[in-house]
Amino acid sequence: MAKISINIKQGSLSKSEPVLGIDLGTTNSLVAWVPPGERDPQILESSEGRLTPSVLYFPENQAEPLVGKMAWDALESQPERCVRSVKRLLGKSAQDVQKHWGYRLVETSEEALVQVEVDGRYYDPIHLSSLILKELKRKAEGAFGQSVSKAVITVPAYFNDSQRQATRDAGKLAGLEVLRIVNEPTAASLAYGLNIGAESRTILVYDLGGGTFDVSILHLEDGVFEVLATHGDTALGGDDLDLRIAQWWMQQHSLEGIDNGIRLQHMAERAKMQLSQDADSPFSVAFNADVALELNYAKLCELAEPWMQTTWKSVDRALALSDLVETDIDEVVLVGGSTRFPEIARQLAKRFDHCRVNSEVNPDEVVALGAAIEADVLAGNRTDVLLLDVTPLSLGIETAGNLMDVIIPRNSKIPTRLAREYTTSVDGQVNLKIAVYQGERESVLHNRKLGEFVLSGIPAMPAGLPKIQISFAIDANGLLQVSAKELRSGMEQSIEVKPQYGLTDSEVEQRLLESMQHAQNDLEERMLIEAQNEAQQILYATERFLEKHAQHLSTEEIHITRQRCDELRGLLSQGDRNRLLASIEALNEVTKPFAERIMDIAVSEALKGKKL
């Protein structure tokens, strides 16, 4: 297998300044670090414990919110002043978010980033995430007795560009320089990788947290981690199981009308955790004077079944994407608090019965521990670890007729840089609009636009002559930089793509599915559009020719050329590719001798000129 090594910049970090490894979780966030001179990462502990609930509480008449355990405690009594699961909102527009979390979501417009309203004030998810990061930074500084300014932050592998960018921005707002955004399963495998040594292994990382699910397949060799494939859902986690239990209780006791959804969900979570630890003791708690809420392990499994099924489908996908079958996997690694529900390990062990299903490292902490190792690598303290990742969707630009021209195919390893050459379609064209898209469909209309820019100042030349090189570079954080350069003149323009809003993972999956279902139609449509483009170019060239050189043609020749042009123009919008191609051919037949004749005339005129 080919290996790519990444040149890890050592930077100008002072060795004494610790770099934090941060797991910015939907439900819980954690900080880990590698103490100076040591190799093994540690979780940072504060008086509140190791986990910091990713919850914010905005008390009345107080400018700054409380973050963490105290905010979590306020969830039940004052849900309208609490904000949780911010990570699910990161980089998303209002239309992407359907769930009700007890706080108010505000949409300024369909495509704008969603905002949260608390007490008449508006907060965007980047700001809210930054407040969580600030709290983690504060705790770390308290523990170290010195300031910290640098961190590695993890995100689900399935986070798209805008979600990664949003995470990076949140770090910046919190006063942290984000040295790298690392995929959570990659971080987890780093934490495990230490124990594995130099052996070559293929690992499946199953990460089910509070609000996100990720499955990744990684190849480990000589300290190099290569992500072969990833699949997942940024809107699936333990919260959903809690909700399912709460809904079942609501139905069972006709509690639909009550305004106690959050309390019910908290009780559901407690029931789930208790049964996960001790399946034999059924859960029971008084909801009010009349209603006792009960749950036993068998019912929990029944409620959890569809929820687990969704994750098995992602496992299938990830295997298919990496062209592997179960027996190719050497080890399964469990990550995320929800994998403490024993059914998950049990069913995975049944399916992967030839290998180990590993949960040796605490599943809540393994991601932060891996982030701390990566932080240590970036701090220049170790050079034995390399990371490779892949892109989840294809990236490309729009070409004539709304066609998607892929520059970086999906599942390409990153970082990567790829370039392609394009040209103009009209004589004297001095500007070229470059629109960047993400997706698998042949037409950009079905894909997602990431941004656009204009390359201006192209020297006026006949159509087809300018050489415009468009390069796509994805850095190690998964962020895309697009640049365009006219090679003859050296004119250059570039953008860092910072999309307006993100896609949910089910949308990513939906797009993949659609691209497969529509593959045949899309291909036919593409071929038609290409024929139409060709026809338009020939019509354009012929008309220019008639304007310039009519004096060298006979009336009859002009007449037949015009006639063929009209025929071709008439077919342009009819959608019959074969007739279009035949008509192009017919026009070509008429005009072919003209070019030669004009050439002869030009040559003889040039010779005449010479004689003078």
Residues that bind Mg ion (CB under 5 A): 25, 209
DSSP 311-333: HHHHHHHHHHHTT--GGG--EEE
Single residue of 173, 273, 279, 582 touching ligand ADP by CB under 6 A: 273
Closest CA to 60 of 42, 74, 45: 74
Cβ proximity to Mg ion: between 205 and 378 the closer is 205
How far from 477 is each of 169, 400, 568, CA to CA, in Å?
13, 31, 49
User: With binding defined as CB under 6 A, does residue 183 bind ligand ADP?
Assistant: no
Residues 225 to 254: which contact ligand ADP by CB under 6 A?
Answer: 237-239
Sign of CA dihedral 158, 161, 162, 167: positive
State the nearest-atom distance from the C-beta of 447 to ligand ADP, in Å.
Answer: 29
> What would the x/- binding string for ligand ADP be over residues 358 to 387, using CB under 6 A?
------x-----------------------
Interacting span for ligand ADP (CB under 6 A) from 111-119, 330-338, 351-359, 464-472: 330-338
Active-site residue flag, 389: no
Sign of CA dihedral 169, 167, 435, 496: positive
Q: Which of 135, 169, 207, 226 is catalytic?
A: 207
**Which residue is closest to ligand ADP by CB?**
238
* Angle in degrees, CA 473, 477, 479, rounded to 5: 45
Closest CA to 399 of 508, 511, 526: 526
**Dist. CA 57–CA 71, nearest whole Å:** 5
DSSP 513-558: HHHHHTHHHHHHHHHHHHHHHHHHHHHHHHHHHHHHHGGGS-HHHH
Q: Which of 184, 242, 269, 486 is catalytic?
A: 184
State the nearest-atom distance from the C-beta of 370 to Mg ion, in Å.
Answer: 11
Interacting span for ligand ADP (CB under 6 A) from 35-43, 59-67, 70-78, 265-273: 265-273
State the nearest-atom distance from the C-beta of 54 to ligand ADP, in Å.
Answer: 6
State the nearest-atom distance from the C-beta of 364 to Mg ion, in Å.
Answer: 8
Interacting span for ligand ADP (CB under 6 A) from 208-216, 477-485, 504-512, 551-559: 208-216
- Among Mg ion, ligand ADP, none, the one that 101 touches (CB under a kind-dependent 5 to 8 A) is none
- Among ligand ADP, Mg ion, none, the one that 137 touches (CB under a kind-dependent 5 to 8 A) is none
Single residue of 168, 340, 511, 564 touching ligand ADP by CB under 6 A: 340
**Dist. CA 413–CA 387, nearest whole Å:** 10
**Dist. CA 474–CA 118, nearest whole Å:** 37
The DSSP call for residue 62 is -
The DSSP call for residue 384 is S
User: With binding defined as CB under 6 A, does residue 341 bind ligand ADP?
Assistant: yes
- Among ligand ADP, Mg ion, none, the one that 163 touches (CB under a kind-dependent 5 to 8 A) is none
Active-site residue flag, 610: no
State the nearest-atom distance from the C-beta of 112 to ligand ADP, in Å.
Answer: 26
Cβ proximity to Mg ion: between 214 and 442 the closer is 214
User: With binding defined as CB under 6 A, does residue 211 bind ligand ADP?
Assistant: yes
Active-site residue flag, 384: no
Closest CA to 417 of 344, 462, 482: 482
* Three-state DSSP class for residue 257: coil
State the nearest-atom distance from the C-beta of 217 to ligand ADP, in Å.
Answer: 20
User: With binding defined as CB under 6 A, does residue 392 bind ligand ADP?
Assistant: no
The DSSP call for residue 46 is B
Active-site residue flag, 207: yes
* Three-state DSSP class for residue 352: coil
- Take residue 393 and report the two structure tokens written for it: 């969707």
Active site residues: 23, 87, 184, 207
Residues that bind ligand ADP (CB under 6 A): 25-28, 209-212, 237-239, 269, 272-273, 276-277, 336-338, 340-341, 364
